[in-house]
Chain A
Amino acid sequence: MTAIGWGLLLGLMLGTASAEVVVVVSSENPVQSLSHAELADIYLGRMHNFPNGESVVPVDQRENSPTHHEFYSRYLGRTPALIKAHWSKLIFSGRGRPPRTVTDDKAVAEFVAGNHHAIGYLTPELVDKRLRVVPIE
């Protein structure tokens, strides 16, 4: 079993989440906080703007990553399979396309830092001064 596998198993045994995940925007983005519902609407393709009216570009992580799993289960209460089913409905009815996916936490940090319309999620260790954590209320 790989180190990640043991880590996940340990996490499950202790009943704790495998990874901490925070939601971030560019430090130039005026958005201070979002509700759970707003975050869900943005990540499920129902909303294309921040509450202040500025357009929003969500960025996603790979489906098989622990960060992806943690983000969707913690903030949206949905498993990766449910998210996949949700996007299948929209893709195959021609109604929408999922957020772009980047490779890892580091790529999320770079993408969000470089685009003040972007929103992403990553491990808190990678939050630097170009990014701001958005509390989800």
Chain B
Amino acid sequence: MGKLAKALAGTMLLHLTVAEADETVKSRFTLNGFGTLGVVYSDEEQADFVSNTFAPDGAGYTRTWSPEVDSRLGLQLTASLTPRLTGILQLIAEQRYDENYTPSVEWANLKYDITPDLSVRVGRMVQSSLMVSEYRKVGYATPWVRPPDEVYSLVPVTNFDGIDLSFRSHFDGFTNTLQGAYGRKDASLPDGGTAEVRDVVTLTDTLEWGNATLFASYGRTRLSIDAKNINALFEGYRQFGPEGEAIADRYDVDDKRYEVVAVGTRYDPGDWFVMGELAHSNSQTFIGDSRGWYVTGGYRFGAITPFVTLARVRVDSSTSDPGLSLGGLPPSLAARAGGLNAALNGLLGSVAQQKSVTLGARWDFARNAALKVQYDRLDLDNGSPGVLSNTQPGFEPGGRVDLFSVTLDFVF
């Protein structure tokens, strides 16, 4: 420890002297922004296509054409406090769980560069579990209208509060970036509930070599969901003795471990690109274990980039459970137990299972802006609502849903 402290102090002293010699310190404050203006159409009138699990509504049932799913505005203030110390504040206005567009603090952190290749951050910062997580809200930085839901819905949270370390190394033309993070996160759900994410541990590694990128990550958290209908369901089960308690313990979301493992790759020589990602989530809860993947490829004809995406998400764990045995229960209790079993199976069956084909094009028509059009054909698995939410009594699970989106993405 003494050695490390000395080495750190030495490095910092060295940087101070370099800093004094560096007469070309950039301006102290930089303001950057990004945004998307978009509409998405869905032909499913009995359910909503939403931006993420925290959104109260979207396209389809609530509005045939929704501007709320993809539109957002982000502002970022970067303060170079010293050549090694940077402060970042990022505010984002977008559809929130409460149907309000009040800007939220997406990040507020301090970053210290111990060396140009080793940095530590403290505060609220970006969550990096998946290959595109770090800029998933910046439409301009991605080929699609939105990252494929089959993979990105497995990690709906985009930031956390805590600390992270990033270490970059170079060897033989390879650049490797290893990141480790620890923290916590609270999120509000549209129905008034909350999700508490504790002991967030994320490890990611990105290996770049020329035009090729390889990505791998492991994330683990302890997840608790506090929502009225879910609480009522498991409290109901717990009144049925050991059998009910066992069911509640198996499926409730109370300080349960939630893990996500992902691998991804990208090859982008400039004229064309391909990328793909595979993610697996698991938890001993009603959310179950999901496996999602996508493959995307595109070709750049000057300013126009047509692309195609294939994606799939399915559940590895069981999507139904026999629940409480009704035999031997008095009729009133049997009816109640039957109701609980139906509710539990409703939850288990509502986990997303679908495949999709996406065709789209991006047009870089101006220096800071791109126009995108995208057609998605979702093919929902039998019995599953796929990634749709806000399902209405008239909704029939399974089948095909067509989405059509147009967005204008810009940065400044």
A residues contacting B by CB (< 8 A) are 35, 37-38, 40-41, 46-49, 55, 57, 63-64, 76-82, 84-86, 88-89, 91-95, 97, 100, 115
Contacts and interface: CB of A to CB of B under 8 A. Distances in A.
Contacts of A49: 116
Contact of B24 (A64, A79, A100): A100
Contact of B370 (A81, A93, A115): A81
B134 interface: yes
List the 5 closest A-B pairs by CB distance, nearest first: A93-B134, A77-B270, A81-B364, A48-B116, A88-B141
A89 B126 CA distance: 12
A37 B170 CA distance: 12
B138 A37 contact: no
A88 B411 contact: yes
Interface residues of B, number: 45
Contacts, number: 92
Interface string B138-150: 1011100000000
B30 A88 contact: no
B150 to A, nearest CB: 22
Nearest to B126: A93
Nearest to A63: B367
Given A77-B271, A100-B24, 4 more contacts: A79-B270, A85-B140, A89-B134, A94-B107
Nearest to B370: A81
A92 B175 contact: no
A93 B135 contact: yes
Interface string B22-50: 00101000101010000000000000000
A126 B111 CA distance: 39
A92 B173 contact: no
Interface of B: 24, 26, 30, 32, 34, 74, 76, 78, 86, 88, 90, 107, 109, 111, 116-117, 121, 125-126, 128, 134-135, 137-138, 140-142, 166, 168, 170, 173, 175, 208, 210, 269-271, 300, 302-303, 364, 367-368, 370, 411
Contacts of A81: 303, 364, 367, 370
Nearest to B121: A94
Contact of A94 (B125, B175, B368): B125
Contacts of B126: 93-94
B121 A88 contact: no
A89 B364 contact: no
Contact of B76 (A35, A55, A82, A91): A91
A1 B142 CA distance: 34
Contacts of A92: 32, 34, 74, 76, 90, 134-135, 137-138, 141, 411
B109 A94 contact: yes
Contact of B175 (A41, A86, A100, A115): A41
B34 A46 contact: no
Contacts of B134: 89, 92-93, 95
A59 to B, nearest CB: 9
A115 B22 CA distance: 10
Contacts of B138: 88-89, 92
Contacts of B141: 85-86, 88-89, 92
Contacts of B166: 95
Contacts of B170: 41, 46-47
Contacts of A97: 26, 30, 78
A78 B210 CA distance: 13
Nearest to A76: B270
A79 B367 CA distance: 11
Nearest to B132: A89
Contacts of A47: 170, 175
A84 B32 contact: no
Pick the most buried of A40, A79, A82, A92: most chain B CB atoms within 10 A of its CB: A92
A87 to B, nearest CB: 9
Contact of B210 (A37, A63, A84): A37
A124 B175 CA distance: 31
Contacts of B34: 88, 92
Given A48-B116, A78-B270, A88 B135 contact: yes
Nearest to A46: B175
A106 B24 CA distance: 18
19 contacts: A35-B173, A37-B210, A41-B173, A47-B175, A77-B271, A79-B300, A80-B367, A81-B303, A81-B367, A82-B270, A84-B368, A84-B411, A85-B141, A88-B141, A92-B134, A94-B78, A94-B86, A94-B121, A115-B24
Contacts of A91: 32, 76, 78
